[in-house]
């Protein structure tokens, strides 16, 4: 199957090459320069039809006429063909009063006559425009320009007559990539346009076109040059910052153009020690700000800040480094009030938070009682680790502590926080005492040995201090006797003259430094 002598407009037809398709040659594609890029992955023809627009006679100055030929039957290889479908033909002139003898449709070839003043003649078939200039020829030139998006540039176009010293008048149309940006009058043959390049223009090469449409004497001409947009290298300055652990760090960077003006566009991403932080932040009036909550696991030391400006159509991407200094944070410590008996094991508890009330999960706490650091039996300082903001130390109150209030101090120590301490009260409570004694059975006139033990009814430990006394049958036998350090009392009645019977023995303890007094009624049996 062959597809030829057909019309494909705007290059939108998709021609997939499959078995059975012979060729797609000898077709009119609506232009003398088809854009084959739109046929990517499709078969490109070996030849195609082009449009021609020529004059067959010179312009007659007397009759003001010229004969013209418009054809659509020639391949780009020069070969003549037939069979191209009829197309609409549009003829026009820069002379508003000019006339064409034919101006409608074309089938392969059309001849016609133009009558009018010397002017620019235009023939249009589909997307193709061709011109015949009857006026004095001119040349137009336009300077190449290198700049950046968002900048203002000066575009200069110069128009000269080819065969005379005639100074060109009229207007020049400026275009970028075929799109008109402005029309500017010629002054002494030069058209000047101050053009603000849109900030969203990408950094690349653009076709800059100047079109002179002529006047009554001078003909039309045009020229192309290059508008090359390059990205400007900005200045990015990340700022050093010092914060206290637990605070929110305000990371900032300043972005300026090469002239020192604050840049108004783009975004910045920040990195800490090479790790990108979530979310990019916009540049506003040349400043970008990122509020960063310092992680609790960060130590008090220096960290690297990297601010990366991601660039725009106008500016290159660039980065800058600074230093984030984290100083030791300030912590709060609360120590619980504690009550216990001498010799009793109790828990000393604290709550540690940072200045924002967040629980701290590091460090240690040591305790003091009346300024004296608590230690174990080997003389090592007792330490309690801080976990989820809490520390707990199981501590046995020394048995010789008197019943009273003591100053309990908790000291928090951590490499990332300043040392801090706080006080509360340790109350050593007075416990009840108990006397351990077995009834005595002895014989007449044998010395009576009264021995027993006084302990705390709470801890079962020997009492500390206190005096002991005895009564037999309600008569005082002894007073103000010492209870030794093991809580033992011992007293002997050598001259035993008591009757043979059971007697009432009353043991009286007046209380120690951390126990109340007590008494015990028992018996002495003399046989």
pLDDT tens-place string over residues 167-181: 889 999 999 999 999
* Listed range (9-23, 41-55, 62-76, 228-242) with the worst mean pLDDT: 9-23
Q: What is the mean pLDDT of residues 347-376?
A: 94
Beta strands in 355-501 (DSSP E): 364-369, 372-373, 383-385, 390-396, 405-414, 417-429, 433-436, 440-442, 448-456, 467-472, 475-482, 488-493
Neighbours of 297 (CB within 10 A): 8
Q: Domains in the chain, start-ordered, CATH in brackets? A: 36-133 (2.60.40), 138-229 (2.60.40.10), 235-327 (2.60.40.10), 331-429 (2.60.40.10), 433-526 (2.60.40.10)
Q: What are phi and psi of 39, to 5 degrees?
A: -105, 25
Q: What is the mean pLDDT of residues 73-99?
A: 93
Q: What is the mean pLDDT of residues 63-80?
A: 95
Share of the chain above pLDDT 90, in %: 78
Query: Is 11 a residue whose pLDDT tops 70?
Result: no
pLDDT band at 316; cut points 50, 70, 90 = very high
Q: Which residues lie closer than 8 Å to 35 by C-beta, 6 or more apart?
A: 11
* Listed range (4-8, 90-94, 261-265) with the worst mean pLDDT: 4-8
- DSSP labels, 337-385: -EEEETT-EEEEEEEEEETTSPBP---EEEEEETTEEPB-TTSPBPEEE
pLDDT value at residue 504? 97
pLDDT value at residue 200? 86
pLDDT value at residue 21? 52
pLDDT band at 17; cut points 50, 70, 90 = very low
pLDDT in tens, 226-283: 999 999 899 999 999 999 887 889 999 999 998 899 999 999 999 999 999 999 999 9
Query: Is 40 a residue whose pLDDT tops 80?
Result: no
Q: What is the mean pLDDT of residues 67-84?
A: 94
Q: Which residues lie closer than 8 Å to 507 by C-beta, 6 or more apart?
A: 435, 437, 450, 452, 468, 469, 470, 519, 520, 521, 522
CA distances in angstroms from 316 to 87, 109, 113, 429, 458, listed in the order given: 50, 55, 58, 75, 80
pLDDT value at residue 287? 96
Q: What is the Cα–Cα distance from 359 to 329, expressed in whole angstroms?
A: 13
Query: Is 1 a residue whose pLDDT tops 60?
Result: no
Query: Is 348 a residue whose pLDDT tops 80?
Result: yes
pLDDT value at residue 199? 85
pLDDT in tens, 131-158: 998 989 999 999 999 998 888 999 999 9
The three-class DSSP label of residue 36 is: helix
Q: Which residues lie closer than 8 Å to 297 by C-beta, 6 or more apart?
A: none
Q: What is the Cα–Cα distance from 298 to 233, expressed in whole angstroms?
A: 35
β pairing state of 241-244 and 318-327: parallel
Query: Is 427 a residue whose pLDDT tops 70?
Result: yes
β pairing state of 440-442 and 518-526: parallel
Q: Which residues lie closer than 8 Å to 216 by C-beta, 6 or more apart?
A: 117, 118, 135
pLDDT band at 13; cut points 50, 70, 90 = very low
Query: Is 476 a residue whose pLDDT tops 70?
Result: yes
Q: What is the Cα–Cα distance from 6 to 83, expressed in whole angstroms?
A: 8
Tell me what the pLDDT averaged over the chain comes to.
92
pLDDT band at 38; cut points 50, 70, 90 = low
pLDDT value at residue 379? 94
Query: Is 4 a residue whose pLDDT tops 70?
Result: no
Q: What are phi and psi of 36, to 5 degrees?
A: -70, -10
pLDDT value at residue 297? 80
pLDDT value at residue 398? 93
Q: What is the Cα–Cα distance from 33 to 15, expressed in whole angstroms?
A: 18
């Amino acid at each position: 199957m062959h597809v030829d002598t057909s019309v494909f407009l705007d290059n939108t037809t998709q021609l997939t090459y499959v078995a059975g398709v012979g060729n797609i040659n000898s077709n009119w594609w609506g232009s003398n320069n088809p854009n084959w890029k739109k046929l990517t992955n499709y078969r490109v023809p070996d030849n195609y039809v082009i449009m021609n627009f020529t004059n067959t006679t010179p312009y007659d100055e007397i009759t003001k006429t010229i004969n013209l030929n418009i054809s659509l039957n020639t391949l780009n290889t020069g070969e003549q063909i037939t069979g191209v479908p009829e197309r609409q033909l549009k003829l026009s002139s820069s002379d508003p009063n000019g006339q064409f003898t034919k101006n409608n449709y074309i089938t392969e070839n059309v001849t016609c006559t133009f009558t009018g003043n010397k002017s620019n003649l235009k023939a249009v078939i589909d997307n193709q425009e061709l011109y015949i200039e009857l006026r004095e020829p001119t040349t137009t030139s336009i300077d190449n320009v290198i700049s950046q998006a968002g900048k203002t540039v000066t575009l200069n176009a110069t128009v000269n007559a080819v065969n005379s010293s005639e100074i060109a008048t009229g207007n020049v149309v400026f275009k970028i990539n075929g799109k008109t940006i402005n029309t500017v009058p010629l002054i002494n043959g030069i058209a000047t346009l101050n053009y603000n390049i849109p900030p969203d223009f990408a950094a690349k090469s653009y076709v800059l076109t100047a079109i002179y449409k002529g006047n009554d004497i001078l003909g039309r001409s045009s020229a192309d040059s290059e508008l090359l947009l390059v990205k400007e290298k900005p200045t990015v300055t990340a700022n050093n910052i010092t914060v206290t652990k637990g605070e929110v760090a305000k990371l900032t960077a300043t972005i300026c153009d090469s002239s020192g003006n604050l840049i108004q566009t783009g975004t910045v991403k920040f990195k800490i020690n090479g790790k990108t932080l979530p979310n990019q932040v916009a540049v506003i009036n040349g400043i970008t700000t990122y509020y960063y909550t310092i992680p609790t696991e960060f130590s008090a030391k220096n960290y690297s800040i990297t601010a990366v400006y991601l660039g725009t159509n106008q500016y290159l991407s660039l980065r800058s480094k600074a230093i984030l200094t984290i100083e030791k944070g300030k912590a709060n410590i609360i120590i619980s009030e504690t009550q216990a008996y001498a010799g009793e094991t109790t828990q000393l508890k604290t709550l540690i938070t940072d200045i924002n009330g967040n629980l701290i999960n590091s460090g240690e706490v040591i305790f003091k009682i009346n300024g004296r650091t608590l230690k174990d039996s080997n003389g090592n300082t007792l330490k309690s680790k801080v976990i989820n903001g809490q520390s707990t130390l199981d501590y046995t109150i020394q048995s010789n502590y008197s019943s009273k209030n003591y100053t309990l101090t908790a000291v928090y120590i951590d490499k990332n926080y300043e040392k801090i301490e706080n006080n509360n009260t340790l109350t050593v409570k007075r416990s009840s005492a108990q006397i351990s004694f077995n009834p005595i059975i002895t014989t007449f006139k044998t010395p009576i040995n009264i021995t027993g033990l006084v302990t705390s009814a709470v801890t079962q430990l020997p009492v500390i201090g206190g005096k002991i006394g005895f009564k037999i049958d309600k008569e005082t036998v002894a007073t103000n006797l010492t209870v030794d350090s093991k809580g033992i009392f011992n007293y002997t009645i050598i001259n035993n003259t008591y009757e043979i019977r059971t007697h009432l023995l009353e043991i009286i303890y007046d209380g120690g430094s951390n126990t109340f007094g007590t008494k015990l009624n028992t018996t002495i049996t003399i046989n």
